[in-house]
């Protein structure tokens, strides 16, 4: 029988905003971690104001990224706010931040500062370019990282202007590398009691995805260009036009290629020297696409899906979001999770991908309102009710906290 969640009892102090850090802490909270979202005065996480779309005034993106978390608004640039933050950091197992390198150090809240107070703290810093190197102090965004990592140079169609990946790949991958680093550091801490500092950059997170392109460049010195939906190492492995839309087919080896052409009634292609083996097909991708399209445009996607599935050829339709979220496989795998939000009503969430058999994750509560849990979090840090009221009255904590207070 499934037991409690794997990260029950782990406290995460999440000072990050927008995407990479919150995406990381979302996965930690899904696995049972107590994630305390520390939000800045004057509106909190910038994602809360990003949109449209909004649902009853709440950012749809913020709702998606911040489920299972609790929110405190705290001005930790003020002395009393800084002291409250330090009290929370002393009780935390993990801290996540994505300020420009040096910001937390200047506030006296950097890794070296907090390590003196909590040597077991795992401190994760996410930035555009990392804490060292000539670009360390530069601001970084997903778009910038996609461009500087080379990804935009080989994405899109040949002879097209640069095209970014449709999802914020650098941000999301940085979040996943941060997650991997935190969990690895946590295993080390379980063995030794020792915390450590983790650095993750958007640039390196994007660059890590260029496995085929970088390895090819290392081997040959050739600079890869955009290929559309085709593959660098095998063909056919691409989107093919049908009578009513596009279909992805994967025939990356000779056995699949032969199954494909027999299934679609194009045995003549087996005798065509242009397509006799994978290197030949790679060298004649345009001709190959034309030959396949002649056949595939004669019938709709559903027809070809049945034909290819019966033949054992990997294939799948290219779905839009409406089609994705009505797809029977997605629904069968509990990937569409509905939760009641305090102001937005019933909202839908992307489900948990890693399905653990003994300690499964859970999406139990929707995203918090700004500063919703300020009092209970301060109580967790050891403050009395009178002290909490004083922090609120002075504009240090709570949804009405002041932006510029420094006392």
What is the span of the domain harbouring residue 98? 11-209+330-393
Task: Return the structure tokens found at 383.
Answer: 């403050």
* Mean pLDDT for the chain overall: 95
- Of 171, 222, 244, 320, the catalytic one is 171
Nearest to 195 by CA among 350, 314, 353, 89: 89
Question: pLDDT class for 337, splitting at 50, 70, 90?
Answer: very high
Mean pLDDT, rounded, for 181-191 = 98
> Which DSSP letter does residue 284 get?
T
pTM exceeds 0.75 for this model:
yes
Give the pLDDT confidence score for residue 276 in this predicted structure.
Answer: 96
The CATH code of the domain that includes 377 is 3.40.50.10540
- pLDDT for res 49: 81
3 state SS of 260 = helix
Q: Would residue 225 count as lying in a domain? A: no
Active site residue 400: no
* Contact call for residues 242 and 301 (beta carbons, < 8 A): yes
**Whether residue 124 is found in the same domain as residue 261:** no
Joined together, the tokens standing for residue 84 give 């409250």
Q: pLDDT by residue (tens digit) across 343-352?
A: 999 999 999 9
- Rounded Cα distance between 236 and 313, Å, is 11
Domain count, the chain: 2
Each residue's pLDDT tens digit, 259-292: 999 999 999 999 999 999 999 999 999 999 999 9
134 and 277 together in one domain: no
SS3 letters for 101-165?
A: CCHHHHCCCCHHHHHHHCCCCEEEEEECCCCCCCCCCCCCCHHHHHHHCCHHHCCCCCCCCCCCC
Helices of type H across 336-384:
374-380
Output the pLDDT for position 358: 96
- Confidence bin at 362 (pLDDT 50/70/90): very high
pLDDT at position 343, please?
94
One domain for residues 49 and 198: yes
Same domain for 150 and 31: yes
CA distance 182 to 382: 26
Tell me, what CATH number does 289's domain have?
3.30.1540.10
Ramachandran bin of 312, using left for φ above 0, alpha for ψ from -120 to 50, beta for the remaining angles: left
Report in angstroms the alpha-carbon separations of 148 from 53, 101, 177, 206, 387.
Answer: 29, 19, 18, 9, 48
């Amino acid at each position: 029988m499934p037991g409690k969640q794997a990260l029950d009892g782990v406290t995460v102090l999440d000072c990050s905003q927008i995407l990479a850090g919150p995406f990381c802490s979302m996965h930690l909270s899904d696995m049972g971690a107590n994630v305390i979202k520390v939000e800045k005065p004057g509106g909190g996480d910038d994602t809360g104001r990003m949109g449209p779309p909004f649902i009853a005034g709440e950012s749809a993106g913020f709702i998606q990224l911040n489920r299972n978390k609790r929110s405190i608004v705290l001005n930790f640039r003020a002395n009393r706010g800084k002291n409250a933050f330090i009290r929370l950091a002393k009780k935390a197992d993990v801290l996540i931040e994505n300020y420009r390198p040096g910001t937390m150090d200047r506030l006296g809240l950097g890794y070296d500062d907090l390590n003196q107070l909590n040597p077991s703290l795992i401190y994760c810093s996410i930035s555009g370019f990392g804490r060292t190197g000539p670009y360390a102090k530069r601001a970084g965004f997903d778009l910038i990282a996609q461009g500087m990592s080379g990804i935009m140079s080989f994405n899109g169609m040949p002879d097209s202007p640069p095209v970014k990946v449709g999802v914020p790949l650098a941000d999301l991958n940085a979040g996943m590398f941060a997650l991997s680093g935190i969990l690895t550091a946590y295993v080390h801490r379980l063995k030794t009691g020792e915390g450590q500092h983790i650095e993750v950059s958007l640039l390196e997170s994007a660059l890590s995805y260029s496995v085929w392109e970088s390895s090819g460049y290392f081997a040959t010195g050739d600079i890869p260009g955009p290929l559309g939906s085709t593959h660098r190492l095998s063909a056919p492995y691409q989107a093919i036009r049908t009578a009513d839309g596009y279909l992805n087919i994967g025939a990356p080896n000779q056995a699949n290629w032969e199954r494909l052409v027999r299934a679609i009634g194009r045995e003549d292609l087996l005798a065509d020297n242009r397509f006799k083996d994978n290197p030949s097909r790679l060298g004649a991708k345009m001709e190959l696409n034309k030959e396949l399209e002649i056949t595939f445009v004669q019938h709709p996607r559903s027809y070809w899906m049945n034909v290819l599935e019966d033949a054992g050829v990997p294939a799948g339709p290219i779905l839009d979001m409406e089609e994705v979220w009505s797809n029977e496989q997605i629904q069968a795998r509990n990937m569409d999770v509905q939760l009641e939000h305090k102001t937005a009503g019933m909202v839908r969430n992307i489900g948990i991908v890693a399905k653990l058999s003994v300690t499964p994750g859970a999406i139990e509560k929707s995203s918090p309102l700004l500063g919703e849990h300020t009092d209970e979090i301060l109580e967790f840090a050891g403050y009395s009710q009178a002290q909490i009221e004083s922090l609120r009255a002075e504009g240090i904590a709570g949804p009405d906290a002041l932006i510029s207070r420094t006392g």
